[in-house]
Amino acid sequence: METNFSTPLNEYEEVSYESAGYTVLRILPLVVLGVTFVLGVLGNGLVIWVAGFRMTRTVTTICYLNLALADFSFTATLPFLIVSMAMGEKWPFGWFLCKLIHIVVDINLFGSVFLIGFIALDRC
């Protein structure tokens, strides 16, 4: 007697195509952003403390303080981006925080560029 085996069309075997190189390329940016976050918070926090409380108020000192504040607020957004990247580019924090984080990043980008330009002009 013959036995007839059949499988339903909606069953499939899940195959993982992730190689070791792909895994490294997924984890490496997370590690780099994590290290950047830690060093950015510590370094900019130190600059804010020194320029804000220990140095005399000059135009250059105020510019460095503002640049450190802009960079510090940018590094404060990095944990949100790290979580988003770790979850496969999905945003778990809601619509409002998505818009707010991107606005903060854009404002800090332009603020940092203009402050560096002003510092360069001030030193001429």
The share of the chain scoring above pLDDT 70, in percent, equals 83
Phi, psi of 14 (to 5 degrees): -80, 125
Q: How much is the mean pLDDT over the chain?
A: 86
Q: What is the mean pLDDT of residues 74-101?
A: 92
Of 47, 116, 49, 106, residue with least CA distance to 77 = 106
Q: What is the mean pLDDT of residues 79-90?
A: 91
H-helix segments, 15-94: 20-49, 59-75, 78-86
Q: What is the mean pLDDT of residues 30-35?
A: 94
* pLDDT range class, residue 73, cuts 50, 70, 90: very high
Q: Tokens 């600059």 correspond to what residue?
A: 47
Predicted local confidence at residue 49, as pLDDT = 94
Predicted local confidence at residue 7, as pLDDT = 58
- Residues 6+ away with beta carbon under 8 Å from 111: 66, 70
- Asked whether residue 89 carries a pLDDT value surpassing 80, the answer given is yes
Query: Which residue did the predictor score with more confidence, 18 or 55?
Result: 55
Question: pTM (2 decimals)?
Answer: 0.74
